[in-house]
Amino acid sequence: MAKSKFSKDFLEKIKEQLLAKKDDLENELSAFADKSTTNKDDYNARFPEMGDKIDENAAEVTEYSKNLTLENTLEKALQDVNKALERLNKKKYGVCKYCKDPIAEKRLLARPVSSSCIECKKRLTLEA
């Protein structure tokens, strides 16, 4: 497997961005969900308590449904960040998982969680 060939400064910059993003995502999730005690990457949305009236119950269900969708989106983003940090730690960051070529620095700066080069991403998108 190819190893990344980026400067130490570049990799440190990426790591800082990823850690900041991880912190932001965890803070967003903790605003309406509890972290699972069995799975470090899983959160469980809390059911909002607004009262006992029928219209309040409907609002609770609506809010909970919205939070479940948001939870899934934020969890996926957090998983992407964690995978990118793992690749950094294993010195495999910035290598396309499909063609094994280096991913362009510009792409990684724009989207630090990228695991594929632009060419492979385009090809996969066209095939889908």
Give the end-to-end CA distance of the chain in Å, rounded to a whole number.
Answer: 26
119 has pLDDT over 90: yes
Q: Which of 31-40, 76-85, 87-96, 115-124 has the lowest mean pLDDT?
A: 31-40
CB 76 within 8 Å of CB 113: no
Confidence of residue 115 (pLDDT cuts 50, 70, 90): very high
Maximal CA-CA distance, the chain = 61
Q: Is the pTM of this model over 0.95?
A: no
16 has pLDDT over 90: yes
How far is it, in rounded angstroms, from Cα 119 to Cα 92? 19
Q: Which of 107, 32, 16 is nearest to 74 (CA)?
A: 32
Each residue's pLDDT tens digit, 20-60: 999 999 999 999 999 988 887 789 988 887 666 666 678 88
